[in-house]
Amino acid sequence: MTAHDARLHAFRSDLADARLKGEVAADRFVAGRPARISVPMADIRKAPKTDSGVNTQALLGDDVLVFEDREGWAWIQAERDGYVGYVAEAMLGTRDHAPTHIISVPRTFLYPGPDLRFPIAGQLSMGSTVTVTSAAETRGTHYAVLPSGEAIIAGHLRPVGEMAGDYVSVAETFLGTPYLWGGVSGFGIDCSGLVQLAMRMAGRQVLRDSDMQAASIGEQLEPGPDFSGLQRGDLVFWKGHVAIMTDAETMIHANGHTMLVSREGLKEAVARIGYLYGGPTGFRRP
């Protein structure tokens, strides 16, 4: 990371965040306009075009600041982790209702009303936030009802501010989830997205990309001979990759080898990854 990493600071030669005035050069400085992600998932892209690469994603209810709207694209910064990029303007809404609950299971359905027999109205990932206005029960199943009248299984939610006790246990619920470059959801996730989302659900906000995490999460760790000093929750970093230790010998990671979130022995992973990309670059204890 640099002092003004463009992934974390909104600046271009023609336009920049007003908070950066005096720190970066730009033709014009503007204050960000508050907005909120209004769709289940929004790809945050490198450039304002549909064939541009996806750097990360934002989830329903995520708050953002908008610095520019042009030709159907918004240049935004996510308030939760500071990530900057472009989203389709249609994916943004206003901050009309304060979120009350967060999806606490990897994936769930949004129904047009409180009945699981209704055709679904959408699909939501863990980490999405919603506003619950009432409760309903249909044939013994409990639902949380949103301002739109749509409903979610009540047991798939928990109040905003109620945290999981162990971030590794959260990560383990994603076993079998497809690997997706830039993904941060239960429908597809990458290695650093898994770390970020699992830690978020346990009450810890961390940066998005693996290099950012390697420079900022917890403390550096010397694992000792044969990695014998590692324990559950420690992080292992390679160039462009991160894994979470589930115990002293086994890790969980979203990876391009299986194209899934999967478990793997650390020593086996070191040998396999080292063949192409070299050995671990660091270890950290959150």
Confidence at residue 174, expressed as pLDDT on a 0 to 100 scale? 98
> If one looks up domain 167-285 in CATH, what number appears?
3.90.1720.10
Question: Of 165, 219, 195, which Cα lies nearest the Cα of 56?
Answer: 195
What percent of the chain is modeled with pLDDT above 90? 97
d(CA 134, CA 151): 10
Model confidence band, residue 275 (pLDDT cutoffs 50, 70, 90): confident
Confidence at residue 3, expressed as pLDDT on a 0 to 100 scale? 79
Encode pLDDT of 230-259 as tens digits: 999 999 999 999 999 999 999 999 999 999
- In degrees, rounded to 5, the angle at the alpha carbon of residue 190 between the alpha carbons of residues 108 and 220 is 120
Under CATH, domain 101-159 is a member of which superfamily?
A: SH3 Domains (2.30.30.40)
Encode pLDDT of 64-111 as tens digits: 999 999 999 999 999 999 999 999 999 999 999 999 999 999 999 999
Instruction: Tokens for 65, please give them.
Output: 């600041």
Q: Phi then psi for 224, rounded to 5 degrees? A: 85, 175
d(CA 208, CA 189): 12
CB 69 within 8 A of CB 79: no
Would you call 268 helix, strand, or coil by DSSP? helix
Confidence at residue 210, expressed as pLDDT on a 0 to 100 scale? 98
State the chain's mean pLDDT as an integer. Answer: 97
Domain ranges in the chain are 16-93, 101-159, 167-285
Confidence at residue 189, expressed as pLDDT on a 0 to 100 scale? 98
Confidence at residue 1, expressed as pLDDT on a 0 to 100 scale? 53
What type of residue sits at position 152?
I
Task: Compute the residue count for the chain.
Answer: 286
Name the architecture of domain 16-93.
Roll (2.30)
Same fold, 101-159 and 167-285: no
Mean pLDDT of 175-202: 98
